[in-house]
Structure 1
C-alpha cells in the first residue's frame, strides 16, 4: 500500500518495552481515546480475534467500532481492520490500523498508523482530527507507562 494513503504518529516513551506493552494491553480503556471521551475496548489479541470499541463523549455521544485483529505479536505490533466485523461479516472499509512498538535505548518507540482504502477516507480521517486524536492517545499511553515505570 502506498504511503500516500497513510497517516501516522510516533512517540518515544521513556519506559521499557515490557512496561509499555503491559499498559497497552492491561489498561487500554485509560489511554485509547482522548479525554474527556472514554472508551470501552474489547480486543481478542490474536489473528482473527474480535476488535470491539465503544467511545463515549462528554455530551452523550457514542461511537461504536467493530473489527477484526489481523496480527498480534506481543511486545511488537497489533494490526486491525474495520473491513469485517465478527464472524467475517463484511462492512464498509475505512482503514487498517497499526500499533507498533520498538525498543530504543531502554525506551520504547511507539507508532500508530492508519492506512486507508481511498484518498477520500484518508482526508476524512484527517478532518476528524487524526493528528490531534492519535497524538493525544500516544501521549496518554506514554504518561501511564512513564508513571508505571516510576512506581516500579
Structure 2
C-alpha cells in the first residue's frame, strides 16, 4: 500500500498525507493533473469522483462530485493558487452544494500537493491547512484521514499500464475492512461489450455460469434503479450440488461505467450485500472492479469460503472465450 503516513497537528492546524509510489515523478504529476485519471482514485472505494470542470491554470477552478453506492452526492471545488510542474500545486479546497456554491457549515482549506523523486520512484505529500483547530477537528471527524488513505491506496492501479498491472493475474480479492471486499479482474475486451455482457440476458447466459457443470435456469435482468433482478443456477448431469439463486434490486446505474445493486439468496430475507460494479477501459482491455459491502465480518467470511472467487474466475475466463473473443475473429 502506498500511504506511509497520515498525521494531524492541532497547533499548526494541518493534516498531512504522505505516500510513496513505484513510478516516476512525471507519471505521478499526470495522475493528479488529468481529471480522467483523478476520477479513478480521488474518493475512497464506493465514492468515485466525477469532474465536471477542470481549468488547470492559476485562478482556474475544478468542480467535482463523489457518488455513494446509494446515489448520494458530495461536491467539492478546487481553486488553483499555484502550479509548479512537476513539483506540485496549491488549491483552495471547499465543499460545495448541487449548484457548486460553498456549503454552509463546512470549512474550506488551503491544500498543497508536493511531488519529489525518490530512489524507488516518487513521493507525494498532501498537506491541508485549516483556519482553526475546530475546522481541522470537524474534517477529521468526518473520516477524512481514513478516506484519504483508502483513496491514495487506489493509485497503484492508475500509475501502471493497465495490462502490466492486471493482465494474467486472474481474479483478485482484497479485504478492505471487516465488511468491504474489492474484487478485480482484467478482461480482454472493450467496456461497451463488457457492459452488455452484464446487462443482456442472451450474453449473460453464455458466461455467468461459474464452474463447468452448471447451467443458468433463470435470468431476469434489471437495468434501471428500482428494477428487480433474479438469477438461478442448477447442476447438470453428474455434477454435485443443489440449485440456488440470487435476487435483489438495482440502486444506481451510470452506464457503461457503474452499476450498484443489492443481492441476497432467493427466498430469504438476507443477509443482503451491496454490489458496486465499476468498469474502466484502457488500450482495448477492461478492468472489472466489484466492491461488495457485507452486513458483518461473519457473513463476509462465510460467503468467501464458498469458493465464490474461484467460480467468478471461471466465469470471467468464459466471458473472454465465449463473448469477447468471437468479436475479434
Q: What is the TM-score when the length of structure 2 is the normalising length?
A: 0.40
Partner of 2:187: 13
Q: What is the deviation of 1:122?
A: 0.3
1:64 to 245, 249, 254: 245
Which residue of structure 1 lines up, in the alignment, with residue 142 of structure 2? none
Once residues 57 and 12 of structure 1 are traced to their aligned partners in structure 2, the CA distance between those partners, rounded to angstroms, is 28
CA contact (8 A) 1:101 1:111 kept: yes
| RMSD, aligned α-carbons | 2.5
Please show how residues 25-64 of structure 1 align to structure 2 within 5 Å: 25-26=199-200, 27-34=203-210, 35-39=212-216, 40-58=218-236, 59=240, 61-64=242-245
Distance in structure 2 (CA, Å) of the matches to 1:29 and 1:18: 18
Aligned equivalents of 1:113, 1:56: Cα separation in 2: 26
Aligned partner of 2:283 in structure 1 is 105
Unaligned runs of 5+ in 2: 1-45, 47-174
Structure 1 residue runs of 5 or longer lacking an equivalent are none
Specify whether residues 130 and 7 from structure 1 end up closer, same or farther in structure 2 by C-alpha distance, changes over 3 A only: farther
* Residue 127 of structure 1: aligned partner: 305
Structure having the larger proportion of residues in helix: 1
Secondary structure at 2:271's aligned position in 1? Answer: coil
Q: Is the CA contact 1:9–1:134 (under 8 Å) kept in the aligned structure 2?
A: no
For 2:194 and 2:253, locate their aligned partners in 1 and report how far apart those are by CA, in whole Å: 15
Aligned residue pairs total 147
* TM-score, normalised via structure 1 length: 0.81
Change (3 A) 1:150 1:141: same
User: 1:96-145: per-residue Cα shift (whole Å, max 9, x none)?
Assistant: 11322111122211123322110000000111112212222222223234
- State the structure with bigger RCO (CA 8 A, min sep 6), 1 or 2: 1
Q: Give 1 or 2 for the bigger CA radius of gyration.
A: 2
